[in-house]
Chains A and B, each alone.
Chain A
């Protein structure tokens, strides 16, 4: 079985078999990234374009490294917002890029649905590297990979996602995938950070963090977008940290073997207390390392001949 789709736009539309295939494929690449020579010729002659309308050094670098380790040619393209303002639409930009014979376009955009719009407009495969608050499928896939790597089963797994879920594409992609795989997803945060009707997507909402963390196997902390302060989502960072910051005492509420995850970079002392942050740096570095393997897997699976 292959991944019989042109694009990877989100995890909402993937079957559990497809998700598992990607994770299994990532496993093979994990072996490659552990070698002396971390490069295979699988995507020789293919062109991967990183089209990033939003700055994101981490995700872009991860995709770039993944593509290079597959021997693809990589172009990084970060259109200045000014050219977009001049009336050039996303599709205009994308068609220009397609004319460079890009096989795969990796898109990061601040608008939800930008990847869908692009995928409809170009023949190249499109991989969504984050669109607005919608989805960030490869981030969630690497989270899943990291969970699996720790020997945890998805079925019956209790996962708490803590923070600004409403404005988080990472939370959405994880929610879609985890519920499909049979995990119980708890969303923890104030109602200002919970999207309308999210319970109908299979999650349980907790406003009390202690209650939400009780007995969970995975604590997934979201990064607080500090610039949202003043937009009435939360009164002060101090109060947010007190109510929804992860402290050592709170970790104790979770299952004894629980793992703490964070997409990085951490706001130390905000969503995670400094001592907890130090103790969990290993998982976060695992997440980063796994990110390359997962993205190699995705690029490999998307690189069918056009």
Chain B
């Protein structure tokens, strides 16, 4: 029952950084420190030379169940999560039916439990069917287990509705998550508007489509006092406004996705549908701003926006192909890339995958504190590997990183004290 993770380099942001042991018992963390004794009858996991981290928390995944099980199921999504070191994932409500009621919420939680791999936490819809008109039963969603609310992918365009949602969510201290996109400005667009879209003749989505809504949401958060979390920000303008809003004390957190700090719009050349996501890949200048935002704390969270799509969907021509890429199994090495580049310290990087996302939604996760759930991710910092989509646990293989040589491998993922994933043969 008891497990002693011995001799690893423990990074529990803000709490413990250094070589040490982590003791797990009864599904909880029971001790962290140097030279802990092996408990009688307990197992020992030798972690010398490895990083021992709190299990990663992803605030932004699409597990497609119910409704689109051919892309991903909660089972396959959970397997993908733990393979990428994520022990807790928050599922966006754009399923079919939309998660705008207790029944769907309970279904997702139950399926997550059956899968028995990661903590699967639902995010409820802001409005019924995410149509942006009438509020969903946010109180019910909260009570049945939703950890935040969002109309992700179908952003609430009506500012009054958004204001009411924020005000109403205050009653439950629920975080309101918005995918910031002015649908009129973005209409028909399928990549960043700029030189590359002009060259390729593709309809563009201007950076302003995001910036306008970031500005609106910040102002509404200021007006209402609601907890606002901005999903996958991708533009220099968003970073600038969030930085300024934080300085003024607005309750906002922001996330960035690995693809938005790793790739630029030039990836779309050749009409590569694996470079089609929303928000779109932006310019080099935006990428620099995102990195700077991550570095100075403007951007709190790294989230994947794991968006599986079937191969035949991504094989359509560029304008027809759906937006999104899978991200759970490549997030860690891409994030560690920022450490190698000198953008983030290792502890900062770990924070953005663990403590910071947990705090954004008020989850008791992402920590190795004594008494916390025993969610632990063990990482070989220096192991090099090549991204091979056919080896993904996810049902879908839509990634632009196929063939990339990366560094940083999840060796073991422990969820609630049980080993949920172990790398290698």
Residues on A lying within 8 angstroms of B by beta carbon are 12, 89-91, 109, 111-114, 116-117, 121, 131-135, 169, 172, 195-198, 200-201
Contact between chains at B201 and A131 (CB < 8 Å): yes
* Residue B370 interfacial (CB < 8 Å): no
Q: B312, A112: Cβ atoms under 8 Å?
A: no
CB distance from A131 to the nearest CB of B (A): 7
Chain B: which residue is nearest A118 at the CB level? B317
Residues of A within 8 A of B200 (CB): 112-113, 134
Q: How far is the CA of A196 from the CA of B282 in the complex (A)?
A: 14
Question: B201: nearest residue on chain A (CB-CB)?
Answer: A134
Kindly report which residue of chain A lies nearest to residue B273, judged by CB atoms. A117
Residue picked from B195, B200, B317, most chain A C-beta under 10 Å: B317
**A113 CA to B312 CA, complexed, in Å:** 17
- 25 of the cross-chain contacts (CB-CB < 8 Å) are A89-B312, A89-B317, A89-B320, A109-B317, A111-B317, A112-B201, A112-B202, A112-B318, A112-B319, A113-B200, A113-B201, A113-B319, A114-B317, A116-B270, A121-B315, A132-B201, A134-B202, A169-B201, A172-B199, A195-B197, A196-B193, A196-B194, A197-B198, A200-B195, A201-B195
Does chain A have a CB within 8 A of B404?
no
**Which residues does chain B contribute within 8 Å of A135, judged by CB atoms?**
201
A62 CB to nearest chain B CB (Å): 21
Contacts of A198 in B (CB 8 A): 198
Task: Give chain B residues whose Cβ lies under 8 Å from the Cβ of A91.
Answer: 315
Task: Give the docked Cα–Cα distance between A211 and B415 (Å).
Answer: 70
Q: Do A197 and B195 touch across chains, with their CB atoms under 8 A apart?
A: yes
A111 CA to B200 CA, complexed, in Å = 11
Min CB gap A100→B, angstroms:
21
Q: How many Å from the CB of B291 to the closest CB on chain A?
A: 23
Contact B194 A197 (CB under 8 A): yes
B residues near A (Cβ < 8 Å) are 193-195, 197-204, 206, 270-271, 312, 315-320
Given A116-B270, A116-B271, A196-B193, decide whether A90 and B316 contact each other with a Cβ distance below 8 A.
Answer: yes
Min CB distance A38 to B, Å, is 34
Closest 7 CB pairs of A and B: A134-B201, A113-B271, A133-B201, A195-B198, A197-B195, A112-B201, A111-B319
What is the chain A residue whose CB lies nearest that of B195? A197
Interface of A is mostly: mixed
Which of A12, A89, A132 sits near B319, CB closer than 8 Å? A132
Selected from A109, A113, A196, the residue in CB contact (under 8 A) with B195 is: A196
Name the residue among B198, B202, B319 with the largest chain A CB count within 10 angstroms.
B198
Docked Cα-Cα span, A122 to B325, in Å, equals: 25
Kindly provide the distance from the CB of B246 to the nearest chain A CB, expressed in whole angstroms: 30
Question: CA–CA, A132 to B200, complex, Å?
Answer: 10
Starting from the known contacts A111-B317, A196-B195, A196-B197, 11 additional A-B residue pairs (CB-CB under 8 Å) come to A89-B317, A111-B319, A112-B318, A112-B319, A113-B201, A116-B270, A116-B271, A132-B319, A133-B201, A197-B195, A201-B199
Assembly CA distance A90 to B320 (angstroms): 10
> Of all chain A residues, which has the CB nearest B319?
A111
Q: How far is the CB of B188 from chain A (nearest CB, A)?
A: 10
Given A89-B312, A89-B315, A111-B320, verify A172-B271 contact (CB < 8 Å).
Answer: no
Smallest beta-carbon distance A114→chain B, Å: 4
With A90-B317, A91-B315 as contacts: A113 and B194 at CB distance below 8 Å: no
CB distance from B93 to the nearest CB of A (A): 26
Chain B neighbourhood of A12, CB < 8 A: 199
Q: A109 to B195, alpha carbons, bound, how many Å? A: 22
- CB contacts (< 8 Å) of B316 on chain A: these are 89-90, 117
In the complex, A113→B315 CA distance in Å?
12
Q: Which residues of the partner chain A approach B194 to less than 8 Å between Cβ atoms?
A: 196-197
Residues on B with C-beta less than 8 A from A201 are: 195, 198-199
Q: Which of A89, A90, A109, A132 contacts B202 (CB 8 A)?
A: A132
Q: Write out the residue numbers on chain A whose beta carbons fall within 8 Å of the beta carbon of B202.
A: 112-113, 132-134
Find chain B residues with CB under 8 A from A90 CB.
Answer: 316-317
Closest chain-B Cβ to A135's Cβ sits at a distance in Å of 7
Interchain CA distance A126-B248 in the complex, whole Å? 57
B135 to nearest A CB, angstroms?
31
Nearest CB in chain B: distance from A206 CB, A: 17
Q: Compute how far the CA of A117 lies from the CA of B206 in the bound complex, rounded to whole angstroms.
A: 25
* Chain B residues in 8 Å Cβ range of A116: 270-271
Closest residue to A176 on the B side, CB-wise? B199
A117/B198 in contact, CB under 8 A:
no
CB pair B201 A172 closer than 8 Å: yes
Q: Looking across the interface, which residue of chain B has its beta carbon closest to that of A84?
A: B320
Residue of A nearest to B313 (CB): A89
A109 to B319, alpha carbons, bound, how many Å? 11
**Residues in A whose Cβ lies below 8 Å from that of B198:** 195-198, 201
A133 to B319, CA, bound (A): 11
